[in-house]
Amino acid sequence: MTIADQVTGSTIAGTAKPAEPRAAAPAISLPAIGERELRLDLFRGLALWLIFIDHLPTSLLTWFTIRNYGFSDATEIFIFISGYTAAFVYGRAMLEGGVVIATARILRRVWQIYVAHVFLFTIFLAEISYVATRFENPLYTEEMGIMDFLKQPDVTIVQALLLRFRPVNMDVLPLYIVLMLALPVILWSMRWKPDVTLGLSVVLYAVTWEYDLYFSAYPNGFWAFNPLAWQLLFVFGAWCALGGARRMSRILASPVTMWIAIAYIVAAFYVTLTWYLPQLSHLMPKRLEQWMYPIDKTDLDVLRFTHFLALAALTVRFLPRDWPGLKSPWLRPLILCGQHSLEIFCLGVFLAFAGHFILAEVSGGAVMHALISLSGILIMWGVAWVISWYKRVADKSGAKTKNAVGNADMAGGG
């Protein structure tokens, strides 16, 4: 417990110190937060765990992931919080250092994410090549056609570097890269007029739906997460971080909002239930079904977005910023993971690959499955702890020579 407390103590200090003296400068409505928003870390950590579990084959644990209880899932949480923290960190950088410096730092971050993506792709290549050479069951000659791209490694690798060739489960980071690339423009525009920026984002979202805009992928098809649609969540997160959340606080506190949110979540839960219990589906009005389906994940369906909003509204209402539970050791693993989300996200994708591999090579029983899920989460926690420890040590030794502002980079984005 003491160790964990120390870790947070240092993290808070790290981000807070540069913030406090300047938060008084009223250039734009940056929230005057002196303390790290632990709720963001908590839910981002949760999203990372859920994404990991969802990437493993179906098991009992899968039933604990939120996508089974409503329209939205962990991806929404991840992208929204990423928008929020990125705007928070780099918005401040833009105020303090100007547009050019902030842009440079954002681009450095984009580069980090890009390298992480390429790293994961390399692991994927190794895995698929292994299966291609070792696995020649005549039952699956057709499925081995997936290896065809190995015949043209030049094209495939270049397309992967261009983010156009993305294997299964490797869709989130490219989306994130594109969103971060747009962040300088978003922030610059937010500094000018936050509401107009949010409005433009909504317009882009609507235009994307109206004219069916998309990013094409290789060898065919399109990006599984359309950045032109998903930017809405990211920009909304940024807007909230830059004062929007505070201005909405009266709406969020109103009981009307609460009841609408509850009603919507219950309705969504019921609809989800009809997917699993088809006996219930005759209770669904045909008209509603025709209007509602398909609930599109690629283009961030409005139903998914509103479902996320409803969840967020309830969370903000019932989980206050100063809730003592946030400091409890039980939630520490989640918060730690959320604080190093890029590293832990990549680790999660890798662990999912490794988990598949073990299930295939050793055994695929339910016990093994549970063991893999559990140890995966423990490893994520352990690595997050080590990273925190390392940063604390590095910050201490570096503090004499280097301004602590550099630390904001680490706290943000990822």
Partner 1 sequence: MKARVLLSLILLCGGLAAPEARAGDAAPAAPAAPAACELPSYLLSSESQLPKVADAVKAGKPLEILVIGSRSTAIPASEDASYPARMQAILKDKLPPSEAVHVSVEIQSKKTAEEAAATFVKLMEAKRPTLVIWQTGTVDAIRAIDPDDFRGAVTEGVAALQNAGADVVLMNLQYSPRTETMISVPPYLDNMRVVAQEHDIPLFDRFAIMRQWNDQGQFDLFSPSRGPELAKQVHDCLGRALAQFVFDAAHLGPAQQQN
Question: Which residues here bind partner 1, judged by CB under 8 A?
Answer: 57-58, 62, 68, 124, 127-128, 131, 134-146, 148, 167-169, 217, 219-222, 275-278, 352-353, 356, 359-361, 364
> Is-contact 110 180, C-beta < 8 A?
yes
Least distance to partner 1, CB of residue 172, Å: 14
Question: What phi and psi, each to the nearest 5 degrees, are found at residue 252?
Answer: -65, -30
> Is-contact 307 262, C-beta < 8 A?
no
309-345 as b/e, with b when 16 or more CB fall inside 10 Å? bbbbbbebeeeeeeeeebeeeebbbbbbbbbbbbbbb
Q: Quick check: helix, strand or coil at residue 49?
A: helix
Least distance to partner 1, CB of residue 202, Å: 25
Least distance to partner 1, CB of residue 233, Å: 22
Nearer Cβ to partner 1, position 139 or 367?
139
Least distance to partner 1, CB of residue 62, Å: 7
Q: Quick check: helix, strand or coil at residue 343?
A: helix
Least distance to partner 1, CB of residue 204, Å: 22
DSSP conformational letter for 280? G
Nearer Cβ to partner 1, position 134 or 400?
134
- Other beta carbons within 10 angstroms of residue 409's beta carbon come to 17
Least distance to partner 1, CB of residue 251, Å: 34
Nearer Cβ to partner 1, position 14 or 227?
227
Nearer Cβ to partner 1, position 26 or 294?
294
Distance (Å, whole) CA 387 – CA 357: 26
Nearer Cβ to partner 1, position 316 or 359?
359
> Is-contact 375 195, C-beta < 8 A?
no
DSSP conformational letter for 222? B
Least distance to partner 1, CB of residue 170, Å: 10
Nearer Cβ to partner 1, position 218 or 389?
218
Length reported for the chain: 414
> Is-contact 175 229, C-beta < 8 A?
no
Q: Quick check: helix, strand or coil at residue 216?
A: strand
Nearer Cβ to partner 1, position 188 or 222?
222
DSSP conformational letter for 58? P
